[in-house]
Structure 1
Amino acid sequence: MNKVRTMEDLPISRFHYKIFAYASGSTFIDGYIIGIIAVALSVMHTQFDLSVTMTGLIGMATLAGMFVGGIIGGYLTDTIGRKTMFLIDMLVMLIVSILQFYVNDPSQLVLLRFILGIAIGADYPIAGALMAEFSPKKNRGSLLGGLNGFWYVGYASSFLVGYLLLSLGDTSWRWMLASSAVPVAIMLLARLNMPESPLWLASKGKEKEANALVQKIFGEHVIMSNEAKTQKKTTFLDMFRNGYGKWIFFVSAFWSLSVIPTFGIGTYIPEILAQFGFADGSREYLGSAIINIVYLIGLLPALYLVEKYGRRPTLILPFLISGIALIVLGATSGLNTPFGLILLLFIVYGTFNTAMGAHQWIYPNELFPTHIRGTAMGFITGVTRFASAIGTFVFPFFLGNFGLAATLYICGGLLFLGFLISLFMAPETKNMSLAQSSSINKSGPLKQGSFVSNKTANGIGGTFSAAESRLREK
């Protein structure tokens, strides 16, 4: 007789990778749509008299839309369902991507890019919630964290497609912008066959339907987790009640503090390397390419370490190390430092910065219960996109008015602040069920025999977690 197990106790399977493919489409399309506009704008200038203000509005419209879309889309995800919203926002993206081909005025493009941003922002909480609710607890961290890597894949792909389409001449920008319809259409068709989340169904009182779905997918000896037994109505303000407000602050804070330097440095890295004295027409671009590749490569070991050693140490230590790397870079600016050393310091920063990026998907999807998981993730996504837009906008101001060293010191200081917040607030959720990880805030220490020690179940205070202790012993 087969032993009855919950979904979260199952080993990783082909089905889980299929859900990962559905969810990773969100980050791929985000990176692609944000990246393709940079190439398209370089061609648009030949047909439109774009002012600096209009260029900035076109560039920032998607990020502004994501702020709105994250907040609204997250709530709707918890209200009407994961699959329904997954299909609606893909359909909106498909229509708007095609409409970009026919714009006759830059202001029309600003509006369309804003709508695209709303759809992308809505897709983030759906992808995270769906992946979390289907993942085995022993692999949830790597599956959620891995979604972040596909942003870089989409971003790099957009530049390759843009480069290939340049041969079409003055109208190439129209084809570039409309090209996002291709991955969107593929993802829309793929998602037609995906299931609804059983945990969401159960949270809305459809437990019989949820259990039938679980057994259809995994077999008759598999059941849902204990979290699914509680039916709750989604209320927007619930993410600030019952102690969850501190998790909203924690995730919004560490995510924002990590992406402000990332977007600023990533956008202006050729100019930064030029100020280090490597503006000979090639090396600053070679360095930029290497550094951006590391942003993706650095994620791979993080996905292993986050499951082996836990969430806390793999968030706290990267914040500290990447912050130190930027401060050292600031101290070496203007000292005729060898190119290899500068590149090495940027690689250290980029590698550990990307390791932090995995937690942007892990923590918000583990710390909140099913009925507000999408709402919380959407709100946090909106906050961090607003922060990244502001950071990217003011970065050249600081660089031009205060110099390279001061700018890098500020970025390093932001990362050190993230280190302190993570040290005192980051909980350990490794190997927990979603019911456990979303209850550590109000349940107090977990019972003996659980996956983390009693002293560190809530992750607050200066005590190192069991995972950190094991890391030190290594």
Structure 2
Amino acid sequence: MNHSTAAAARPSRISIEDVPLNKFHQLMTVRSGGGWILDGYILSIIGVAIVQFSDYLKLDSFWQGMIAAAAMLGTFISGFLGGWLTDRIGRRRLYFVGPILFIVGSLGTFWVESGTSLFLLRLLIGMGVGLEYPVAGSLLTEFLPQKNRGPRLAGLTILWFVGAALSYIFGNFILAHGGEQGWRMVLASSAVLGLVLLLVRLGTPESPRWLVNKGRYDEAERIIKQVYGANFSLANMPPESTEAKVSLGNLLHSGYGKRMLFVIVFWTAAVVPMFAVYSFAPVVLQALNLKGNWAAYGSVLITLLFVLGCVIATRLIDSMGRRPLIIHSFLWSTLALLGLGALSHSAEALVLLMFGAYALFIGGAQVLELVYPNELFPTEIRAFAVGIGSSMTRVGSAIGTWLVPMALHNFGIGNTMYVAAGVSCVGLLVSVWLAPETRGMSLEQAASLKR
């Protein structure tokens, strides 16, 4: 046997947590990240077309809020079910369901003739979104090396805002050239992205960690060799914690209950103001005295600032640490929302400055929405916990989004921004109380209750 053959046959002693990124990791990032681009596009595109389809379908403020909140309600429904199924039947099988729901629901919106049918289709699309968080998030997490896990998961949030920015860019372009019913093409445009995502995900393997958790060692061994090389095996996978296994039924009664509380509250406080703004961005900006092109393209500018804030936070997630990052994020974004409430009738430039400050500072909490839930729970309940987190946050988001048009009409933009600041302040307080530090830990260490 020559030296090269012997080296190839010799087992590696490197943990799969410590391997450098390879082509498979890059491909998995694209496969899962594409879901977040589509999520951002789908959840934001409704704000682009809402004025046009509301006029055509003769919708009042109640139905405008219901349709804007429909996707969040769908996320709530599928988050629970999808997380449970992901831990029971595997990550890979459900990895293709979300894109299929995106395609079917988006195409259906092209032919709607009533608020009820549009609400039901947006509900279906939201169910696809709800699957992405536990399924795509867990699958990517369980393949990524430890030193790349935080920045890569944080990067998914950046991609969400990229999708949101694309929705405003393409949506406004389609409206400008699509005629009186261009809104139909705007809402259906996400079907194209759904088809691309479905094709990109073909060939994705199952998570070896999940397979080992289910006792399917031969399959896990084969996938490890396929992903990391022939000299890797199950021996290179860090063992799960020796603590007692946590079942779905006793999750809230175990030591993970406090972690679940933290995830639900901070995630809700981060997304409620943001989703409310995105669902009605042109309306909110008009209420803040930004007219014409200021309102149409101010939303694009704000989205780009959200992206910049997430990029900065992603750079800081390992050097600054998770806990300081989330506390500072909520602190300064709360102050920015208070400023928006106090200065809601000021000059356009000043309003945009405060809005931009909120967009930049909330980036820290946004990027941690996927990092914390995936790091704080063990393999057997990871997807379920993420599903619960995403579902519960969408309850608050749906209620907040539904109330926005009525709040703007009855209480004014200033008071609406004060309420948003109050929600953000709750996130600050619970982060000071419960936010842990998981920087530099393996997935098993971060999920353990013994640290």
Pair 1:195 & 2:205 matched:
yes
Pair 1:85 & 2:94 matched:
yes
Q: Return the offset for 1:227.
A: 3.8
Task: Give the TM-score normalised by structure 2.
Answer: 0.88
Partner letter of residue 225 of structure 1?
M
Distance 1:241 1:220, change over 3 A: farther
Match of 1:327 among 335, 338, 341: 338
Q: Return the offset for 1:284.
A: 5.0
Partner of 2:118: 109
Bigger shift: residues 362-371 or 321-330? 321-330
Paired residue total: 439
Match of 1:298 among 309, 318, 327: 309
Partner of 1:448: none
Q: Give 3-state SS (helix, strand or coil) of 2:251's partner.
A: helix
Distance 1:289 1:182, change over 3 A: closer
Partner letter of residue 321 of structure 1?
W
Q: Distance in 1 between matches of 2:109 and 2:286?
A: 35
Distance 1:394 1:46, change over 3 A: closer
Q: Distance in 1 between matches of 2:299 and 2:104?
A: 34
Task: Give the unaligned 5+ runs of structure 2.
Answer: 1-6
Partner of 1:465: none
Match of 1:313 among 304, 324, 338: 324
Distance 1:265 1:157, change over 3 A: closer
Distance 1:103 1:409, change over 3 A: closer
Q: Return the offset for 1:438.
A: 0.7
Partner of 2:4: none
For the 8 Å contact 1:165–1:176, the answer to whether it is kept is: yes
Partner of 2:238: 226
Alignment of 1:335-350 (within 5 A): 339-350=348-359
Q: Give 3-state SS (helix, strand or coil) of 2:21's partner.
A: coil
Partner letter of residue 94 of structure 1?
I
Q: Give 3-state SS (helix, strand or coil) of 1:239's partner.
A: coil
Pair 1:371 & 2:380 matched:
yes
Q: Distance in 2 between matches of 1:161 and 1:368?
A: 38
For the 8 Å contact 1:67–1:385, the answer to whether it is kept is: yes
Q: Distance in 2 between matches of 1:405 and 1:289?
A: 22
Alignment of 1:401-412 (within 5 A): 401-412=410-421
For the 8 Å contact 1:102–1:174, the answer to whether it is kept is: yes
Could you list the structure 1 runs, at least 4 aligned residues long, displaced by more than 6 angstroms after superposition: 229-234
Distance 1:285 1:176, change over 3 A: closer
Q: Return the offset for 1:54.
A: 3.6
Distance 1:255 1:12, change over 3 A: same
Q: Return the offset for 1:281.
A: 4.2
Partner of 2:428: 419
Bigger shift: residues 294-303 or 99-108? 99-108
Alignment of 1:111-190 (within 5 A): 111-166=120-175, 167-190=177-200
Partner of 1:58: 67
**1:211-250 Cα distance to aligned partner (Å, 9 max, x none):** 2211121113334532458899884324323211111110
Match of 2:274 among 252, 255, 262: 262
Q: Give 3-state SS (helix, strand or coil) of 1:236's partner.
A: coil
Q: Return the offset for 1:135.
A: 0.9
Task: Give the TM-score normalised by structure 1.
Answer: 0.84
Q: Give 3-state SS (helix, strand or coil) of 1:308's partner.
A: coil
**1:131-182 Cα distance to aligned partner (Å, 9 max, x none):** 1101111111111111112222222222333334333434534333332221
Partner of 1:243: 255
Q: Return the offset for 1:78.
A: 0.9
Q: Distance in 1 between matches of 2:334 and 2:190?
A: 35
% identical equivalent positions: 38
Q: Distance in 2 between matches of 1:241 and 1:382?
A: 19
Q: Return the offset for 1:301.
A: 1.5
Q: Return the offset for 1:127.
A: 1.2
Q: Distance in 2 between matches of 1:92 and 1:244?
A: 32
Partner of 1:454: none
Report 1 or 2 for greater relative contact order, CA contacts < 8 Å, sequence distance ≥ 6.
Answer: 2
Q: Distance in 1 between matches of 2:336 and 2:187?
A: 37
Q: Distance in 1 between matches of 2:147 and 2:30?
A: 19
Q: Distance in 2 between matches of 1:154 and 1:257?
A: 21
Pair 1:389 & 2:398 matched:
yes
Q: Return the offset for 1:295.
A: 0.5
Q: Distance in 2 between matches of 1:285 and 1:105?
A: 26
Task: Give the unaligned 5+ runs of structure 1.
Answer: 446-474
Pair 1:205 & 2:205 matched:
no
**1:110-146 Cα distance to aligned partner (Å, 9 max, x none):** 2222122112211221111011101111111111111
For the 8 Å contact 2:69–2:401, the answer to whether it is kept is: no
Partner letter of residue 302 of structure 1?
A
